[in-house]
Chains A and B, each alone.
Chain A
């Protein structure tokens, strides 16, 4: 597990559901075929309505036309991030697009589980709402060990919620690595 995650922020609002993260029509691509899999990066967050895409201004593409990866590596979200379907394509597409961490006020539980158990990225919970303190494009640094987020663009620092029980799985890498470590498989 990386101790420090740094990158540019892409800011979203409340209730970003899995159809916005990856619209259902794209779910047909294989996640194990390296070429096909790239399509998930291309269509990541393509269902977010324009005015909510990249707050506060909106109208910011997460992935540029013709590209398969995003220039942003950290997502800042509001309440109930990842609600909707159980599709693991949702955290997977964000990882394929290059996301290394999400910091949201709260998560829908299946999305949260999928992110942790699949080892896609770390789903941090913020202590208050960050959506108004961070702008899309800001330079962020997350210190995983201390659970702090620094917005280098505004010189503000925020405390994040401790990971709790799931820290063991996050540390191991994913649920399989964890189970091997404790001798379950």
Chain B
């Protein structure tokens, strides 16, 4: 019996020839990522358990990316950044992307990719549930809590229960109005928010391999909304090109064997896919966008690790170019690199940033912003009964701030088309 990519990576990191789903193993960790919300707690547990003067297991393998509560006057939030700074200087850590400096990046999952910390075949843990995003690079990555992160800081190891794999194959070609967000919302709607609990979501097929790295990250990002432990896409030329431009560290490419064992396999015909939304208050509350055309919205939000990448804004700009939005529309680039792209990349001779400004959008600084509500003064946060169409990944009650607000998750195409009409709008009405 062959092995899946995930099983091969885990076996290699446990010093074994093979592993079997359900088995509990200890793996060696290649990268530990933490951010401003969970970093301080991780650091205090690390010191409590390993001693005030303990050193981290390997300073080259720790990456700290403040991104969540960055631009706020909240004093506790700002104190958290001070704790990170102090730890970084005590430990002399090379990979710290401090806010308020040239080095600041923004949302951790995209920053990891852009700064070359995602490498095929590696094992990466992060104190954030969307750490599964990095699986787009053919690696094993998943989210953990502060205790597990502190354990890794001290030992470089963690126990893992080997997950069973679920394979989602998309054959053929997606229509050009379909984005990765439509696909992941379709699949989560099909399997439910706990449909992949403890398991791997492995993506495959021509249509998937035609996606850019950004779109692949969107797919893997939301594995957690299906309950998944990790997501994975085999590394190919597209992956290697992206990685080589950003790091010269060595890596290994793993492929699933043809006779590997899957808990579940499903094949979709890519050409039949339609734009999808997840209605309030759950990411699996699937509907076709065209079925929701009578839903009036108060705002549109385009941002976050899953919907605030360059390709997401390019899609939105295609729709907003030369038009005016009908509702408050928030544009939040995930990282400073994306912000720079908005300033420099053009469509029809105009920068994306100017397209958005002329359309009447408000532009935020690179960070998580209102994706998770956050302190009261967070950019784009809801405070009342707003109905929002958003390219983020969660629409649980209160996720974007107010418990009374209602969030529809959608692709950047759909969010932009809806911004123009003030109701949930199928992008096919705008793209011709």
- Residues of chain A touching chain B, judged by Cβ–Cβ distance below 8 Å, are 15, 17, 19-20, 23-25, 27-32, 36, 47, 49, 79-80, 83-89, 91, 106, 108-110, 113-114, 117-118, 165, 174-176, 179, 184-185
- Residues of A near B394 (CB, < 8 A) are 17, 19, 84
Contact of B398 among A19, A85, A88, A89 (CB under 8 A): A19
Query: B residues 102-141 with Cβ under 8 Å of A?
Result: 126-129, 131
Q: Label chain A's interface by main secondary structure.
A: loop
CB-based nearest A residue for B161: A165
**Contact (A176, B151) CB under 8 Å given A49-B397, A86-B127, A109-B227:** yes
Contact of B147 among A19, A47, A109, A117 (CB under 8 A): A117
Contact of B227 among A28, A31, A80, A91 (CB under 8 A): A80
Contact of B403 among A30, A47, A165 (CB under 8 A): A47
How many residue pairs bridge A and B at CB < 8 Å?
130
Most buried by B among A31, A79, A88, A184: A88
- Residues of B near A185 (CB, < 8 A) are 50, 154-155
- Residues of chain B touching chain A, judged by Cβ–Cβ distance below 8 Å, are 24, 37-38, 40-41, 44, 48-50, 69, 74, 76-77, 79-80, 126-129, 131, 143-148, 151, 154-155, 157, 159, 161, 193-194, 197-198, 227, 229, 282, 372-376, 394, 396-399, 401, 403
- Residues of B near A31 (CB, < 8 A) are 41, 44, 146
Q: From residue A99, how far is it (CB to closest CB) to chain B in Å?
A: 16
- Residues of A near B197 (CB, < 8 A) are 80, 106, 108-109
**Contact (A20, B147) CB under 8 Å given A88-B41, A109-B198, A185-B155:** no
**Contact (A87, B396) CB under 8 Å given A28-B375, A30-B40, A165-B161:** no
Contact of B128 among A30, A85, A175 (CB under 8 A): A85
Contact of B151 among A84, A85, A117 (CB under 8 A): A117
- Residues of A near B146 (CB, < 8 A) are 31, 88, 114, 118
Q: Are B399 and A19 in contact (CB under 8 A)?
A: yes
CB-based nearest A residue for B69: A28
**Contact (A86, B145) CB under 8 Å given A32-B44, A80-B227:** yes
Q: Are B396 and A108 in contact (CB under 8 A)?
A: no
> Please, how many angstroms separate the alpha-carbon atoms of A108 and B142 in the complex?
13
Q: Are B147 and A114 in contact (CB under 8 A)?
A: yes
Q: From residue A77, how far is it (CB to closest CB) to chain B in Å?
A: 12
Q: Are B396 and A19 in contact (CB under 8 A)?
A: yes
Contact of B129 among A79, A86, A118, A184 (CB under 8 A): A86
